[in-house]
């Protein structure tokens, strides 16, 4: 890990029993159990297999966009887009795969298969990619950019990415609350690359906020440094796939995140303030890349290059 603290996962809700749970109204024994005891009993009786993942939970209020998730309580930078101008991802995205549909089975297979990556270089990259936000992504993209960038030297780049981040959060909020999809590790003890917490388990999965942000940031960076567009976009795709490797998102969550990120980027390109900030950031980033900044760790870059040579995750 690179010392960057992963943010708390937003979009918290209380989980509901899956549709296949025992009927407490007709079973005398279950009527006598408390809810916690019933949860333990059901969990113990269910095999921890990828195909047995729980189904979506009831709705909850989305977090306020008026506070900075990196610095709770601090007023957030204003998003670029008015709420009415933010793409409606509920309309844009297809619903998550239905239970036992081919894509649902593919999701579960991807989760089960990637558990074998624990302890591998790809697992370590996924753990590094847990950190999000402008400074974290610049660090995680250091190998493809060719230098580690001190965020203090690129305030226009940080401002551009952090303001766009709020637009991305707003776009993912709708489908997360609408579909209320549970994460793949809920209901089993399979390894994941982060600490299990109740907040993470109770948060919504579709689409992946990390994949949305990582892909949109990759599109922005590719626009800033077009001669590096290919390697930047390959890294952006891998950043989203890290959520599958980590075990905290389904593959279809990540695919939906890329579509959401692309939609927001397209809307941002129509905003004159964003375009003006993009030009400021372009000059600033080019200056930083031309300067004598510290080189990224060669061992990290070698590990990353080898991992990125592997075929993309696919259905």
Q: In this model, does residue 200 exceed pLDDT 60?
A: yes
pLDDT tier for residue 199 given thresholds of 50, 70 and 90: very high
CA distances from 52 to 108, 111, 166, 230, 296 (A): 9, 12, 34, 38, 42
Residue 253 annotated to the active site: yes
What's the mean per-residue pLDDT of the chain?
82
pLDDT of residue 52: 44
Nearest of 150, 138, 134, 160 to residue 71 by alpha carbon = 134
Q: Which residue has the tokens 């991992």?
A: 307
List 55, 183, 243, 303, catalytic entry: 243
To the question of pTM greater than 0.85 for the whole model, the response is no
Domains parsed from the chain with CATH numbers:
28-82+98-308 (1.20.144.10)
Do residues 239 and 245 make contact, with C-beta atoms less than 8 angstroms apart? no
Residue 277 annotated to the active site: no
CA distance 186 to 9: 15
Residue 210 annotated to the active site: yes
Q: What is the pLDDT of residues 159-195, one digit of tens each?
A: 999 999 999 999 999 999 999 999 999 999 999 999 9
pLDDT of residue 291: 81
Average of per-residue pLDDT across 262-275: 98
Average of per-residue pLDDT across 250-256: 98
Query: Of the given ranges (2-16, 187-201, 301-315), which has the lowest mean pLDDT?
Result: 2-16
DSSP secondary structure letter of residue 12: B
List 55, 165, 249, 303, catalytic entry: 249
List 128, 202, 253, 277, catalytic entry: 253
pLDDT tier for residue 308 given thresholds of 50, 70 and 90: confident
pLDDT of residue 71: 45
Burial (CB < 10 A; 0-12, 13-18, 19+), residue 223, is middle
Percent of the chain with pLDDT over 90: 70
Tokens of 181: 């999809």
Average of per-residue pLDDT across 264-287: 97
Tokens of 97: 């795969």
Nearest of 159, 114, 174, 145 to residue 307 by alpha carbon = 114
Residue 243 annotated to the active site: yes
Instruction: Determine if the peptide bond prior to 207 is cis (ω within 30°).
Output: yes
Report which listed range, 22-36, 221-235, 282-296, is most confident.
221-235
Integer-rounded Cα Rg, in Å, for the chain is 20
Q: What is the pLDDT of residues 56-78, one digit of tens each?
A: 333 333 333 334 444 444 545 79
Adjacent-strand bridge partners of 67: 75
CA distances from 141 to 48, 65, 138, 150, 231 (A): 35, 26, 5, 13, 9
List 210, 235, 258, 303, catalytic entry: 210
């Amino acid at each position: 890990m690179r010392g960057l603290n992963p943010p708390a996962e937003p979009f918290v809700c209380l989980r509901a029993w899956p549709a296949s749970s025992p009927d407490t109204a007709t079973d005398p024994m279950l009527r006598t159990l408390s809810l916690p005891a019933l949860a333990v009993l059901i969990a113990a009786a269910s095999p921890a297999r990828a195909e047995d993942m729980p189904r979506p939970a009831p709705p909850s209020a989305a977090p306020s966009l008026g506070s900075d998730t990196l610095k709770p309580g601090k007023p957030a930078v204003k998003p670029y887009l008015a709420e009415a101008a933010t793409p409606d991802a509920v309309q844009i995205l297809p619903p998550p795969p239905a239970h036992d549909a081919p894509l649902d089975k593919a999701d579960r297979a991807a989760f089960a298969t990637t558990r074998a990556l624990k302890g591998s270089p790809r697992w370590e990259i996924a753990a590094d990619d847990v950190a999000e936000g402008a400074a974290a992504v610049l660090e995680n993209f250091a190998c493809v950019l060719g230098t580690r960038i001190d965020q203090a030297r690129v305030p226009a780049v940080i401002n551009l990415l952090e303001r766009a981040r709020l637009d991305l959060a707003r776009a993912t909020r709708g489908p997360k609350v609408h579909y209320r999809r549970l994460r793949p590790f809920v209901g089993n003890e399979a390894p994941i690359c982060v600490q299990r917490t109740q907040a993470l388990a109770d948060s919504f999965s579709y689409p992946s906020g990390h994949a949305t942000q990582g892909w949109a940031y990759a599109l922005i960076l590719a626009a800033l440094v077009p001669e590096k567009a290919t390697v930047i976009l390959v890294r952006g795709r891998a950043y989203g796939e890290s959520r599958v490797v980590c075990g905290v998102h389904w593959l279809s969550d990540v695919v939906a995140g890329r579509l959401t990120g692309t939609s927001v980027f397209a809307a941002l390109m129509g905003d004159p303030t964003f375009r003006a900030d993009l030009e400021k950031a372009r000059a600033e980033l080019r200056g930083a890349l031309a300067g004598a900044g510290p080189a990224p760790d060669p061992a990290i870059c070698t590990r990353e290059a080898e991992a990125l040579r592997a075929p993309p995750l696919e259905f």
